[in-house]
Structure 1
Amino acid sequence: MSLEKLGWNTYFQKKFEPYLDKGFWAARVINQHKGNYIVCSEEGSFNGKLSGKFMYNADVKKDYPAVGDWVAIKMVNDTEAVIYAVLPRKSYFARKLAISGGRKMKNGILVGGNIEEQIIGSNIDTAFIVSGLDDNFNIGRIERYITLVRSSGVTPVILLNKCDLCNNVSDYIEKIDVIAKGIAVYSISVLNNINMDIFDKFLCCNETIVFLGSSGVGKSTVINYLLGGEILKTNTISSSNGKGRHTTTGSQLLQHSSGCTIIDTPGIRELQLWADEDILSESFQDIYSLTDQCRYRDCAHEKEDGCAIKTALEDGKLTIERFNSYKSQLNELKTLKDTRKCYDNSRKNKLNKINKKRGYVEC
């Protein structure tokens, strides 16, 4: 398979130049499970293992290959290859790693434990945020996906799946338009082939698209339709709790006949934010435009006179749900910033102690 059909372009060609004369091959990670990888190159697909030097130099989980990454490899035999480096990512979708050990819930935000970034997929051009027009629909969850996608530098598109089960699709689209101005929104139905032609403009050679959403929204069903067969396993909604069952257990990259690559992702139930506070000015443009109209620059939007937010809430131009979602994300990102700073300082101190034992002196 040609590298171009895997998404190779001039950006990655330039990043690969240091490896050209050293016997390396360029390959893309199409599957990953713990320390095992499947990579695809012009020579075919291989089981990939990390080199010892790579693992020694890797500091955090973000340093390790993720699905969609381009890597520098050397073949061991017809079925195995060693991964020596990850090329710089053009973009990637990530969340705060679901952590365990020492964590607790404080004011609705998970705190404690190791603070790290988990990459779900990389080198993406378009991210489809999928929501079902059934019991799965959740405005707050869509708002969180929008923040994460915009933070990743990827173009977001919202898909309202299973529109055949809904009698008031236009009402849902209006709700989305309030929170996602400027983002394309499409209602589709795979089973009844409604509006499925909207994908034609996204399925282009060299492009990489990803499908995001919770379990049961129909991501795998949509991808199966696009690929023209039952490539991915699908499940129905649980009758006991109305929630989707996990079908996809890990991200994987699939090839479309157009030359477009598609990344399928597992359903994410614990969608913890990983972004900078500044990104909220994009996700909540409506609220930021109102805060600029407040009488006081440090307005807390509570009891101050001349507060544009209070006026908008009273006039019905802004819903309390939208404002609470903004405050929730803002508080979470502020907490993340402070926690990351403490964690980074703690990790730096530990590394300094290790280096001193090894005889290294910090410059």
Structure 2
Amino acid sequence: MEPHLLGWNANFDEYFRPYKIKGLRAGRVTCKIKDNYLVTFEEKSITARITGRFRHNAQLNKDFPAVGDWVVYEIKNSNPHAFIHAILPRENAYVRKLPISGGRKLNNGVIGGGKTEEQVIASNINTAFIVVGLDNNFEIRRIERFLTLIYNSGIEPVVILNKVDLCINIAEYINQVKEIANKVTVHSVSAEKNVNMDVFFKYLMCGKTVIFLGSSGVGKSTITNFLVGNEIQKIQSISKLTGKGKHTTTNCELISLQTGGIIIDTPGIRELQLWGDVEILEQSFEEIKQLSYYCKFKNCQHRKEQGCAIQKAINDKRLSQSRVNSYKKQLAELQRLDTRRRDFKKKLNKK
């Protein structure tokens, strides 16, 4: 397989130049299981591990290789695996707050405790598909959280409404998505019945990488199997009790298609903690940000203040209260995160 088919480009070529002079190689991480990485380049794949120096210099979770990374590695004749020396700079990365690290607490419905670090799920991505099932799985607030994370990662979001064959009024769900993200493309498909599945191929052009995100049972693995052309991802039956699919994919994995596109399939998300700066909400809640400019007071909390443009929009039914509540919840979460990140950085600097 030619390097460009795996997403290699001129930027990575430039980053790799000093390593190439030393006789090292470059490959893309296609799978990670504990401390082992599967690295692919050209037509070969090899199991790799990071060097002792790499481990010593890595301070945080984000410093370790992730699926989608281009890494610099070396093969030694006496070892059955390769050794990773470095990660080439990422063009972008889909990240979230590390869900469990060092213990956690639940206070008034807010998850706290543990270490405040970011978790890199995958990197060097062109398009992020938010997959939602239309079999009682649709949740607009969850889509909002995915959008905030994707915007923070600098990736193009696309919403996929899967299992359209089980839905009576698809227009209603499309309108709900458009109300919170008018500029985001929405596609309705059925991987099971092969409805509208050709929409994926305009994103899966040669060397382009897409990632599938969503809860367990929304059909990510079924979509992947359809696009690959065989059942590489195990699909479990729908639970008769809940009407929802069961968790299938257990590891993030990069899959190359014969058409030249690249898929990153991810496990179902059970805990979607935000990571990013407060400013990112200007993208995921653009209409609220625009309305806030017309509030009478700059420090308006959008509750009962006189001259609040957001409350007026709610009263005029141009904006829903649930949308505003979601904005406030994410804002508070990112503000707490900002405080914890500053405290965590201070602790690191003292070491």
TM-score, length-normalised on structure 2? 0.97
Instruction: Give how far 1:98 is off.
Output: 1.1
Give the structure 2 partner of residue 224 of structure 1.
225
Give distance in 2, aligned partners of 1:236 and 1:316. 41
Instruction: Give how far 1:245 is off.
Output: 2.0
Contact residue 131 and residue 217 of structure 1 kept, 8 A: yes
Gaps of 5+ in 1: 352-363
- State the secondary structure of the residue aligned to 1:253: strand
For each residue in 1:128-168, what CA deviation from the matched residue of structure 2 results, as whole angstroms up to 9, or x when unmatched? 00000111110010000000011100000000000000000
Instruction: Give how far 1:106 is off.
Output: 2.5
Give the structure 2 partner of residue 12 of structure 1.
12
- State the secondary structure of the residue aligned to 1:290: helix
Alignment length (residue pairs)? 350
**Residue 206 to residue 94, structure 1, CA distance change in 2 (3 Å):** same
Look up the equivalent residue of 2:46 and give its one-letter code: F
Contact residue 35 and residue 49 of structure 1 kept, 8 A: yes
Q: Which runs of 4+ in 1 moved over 6 A?
A: none
**Residue 301 to residue 240, structure 1, CA distance change in 2 (3 Å):** same
- State the secondary structure of the residue aligned to 1:30: strand
Give distance in 2, aligned partners of 1:53 and 1:135. 49
Give the structure 2 partner of residue 252 of structure 1.
253
Give distance in 2, aligned partners of 1:109 and 1:340. 17
Give distance in 1, aligned partners of 2:56 and 2:248. 34
Give distance in 1, aligned partners of 2:237 and 2:331. 35
Give the structure 2 partner of residue 197 of structure 1.
198
- State the secondary structure of the residue aligned to 1:275: coil
Instruction: Give how far 1:191 is off.
Output: 1.8
Aligned pairs (5 A) from 1:227-242? 227-242=228-243
Instruction: Give how far 1:17 is off.
Output: 1.3
TM-score, length-normalised on structure 1? 0.94
Look up the equivalent residue of 1:27 and give its one-letter code: G
Instruction: Give how far 1:79 is off.
Output: 5.1
Is 2:255 the counterpart of 1:280? no
Identical amino acids, percent of aligned pairs: 50
Give the structure 2 partner of residue 328 of structure 1.
329
Give distance in 2, aligned partners of 1:318 and 1:111. 31
Give the structure 2 partner of residue 293 of structure 1.
294
Give distance in 1, aligned partners of 2:124 and 2:265. 14
Is 2:64 the counterpart of 1:64? yes
Give distance in 2, aligned partners of 1:178 and 1:234. 32
Give distance in 1, aligned partners of 2:211 and 2:72. 23
Q: In angstroms, what is the RMSD of aligned CA positions?
A: 1.3
Look up the equivalent residue of 1:26 and give its one-letter code: A
Instruction: Give how far 1:112 is off.
Output: 1.4
Contact residue 216 and residue 236 of structure 1 kept, 8 A: no
Give the structure 2 partner of residue 361 of structure 1.
none
Give the structure 2 partner of residue 179 of structure 1.
180
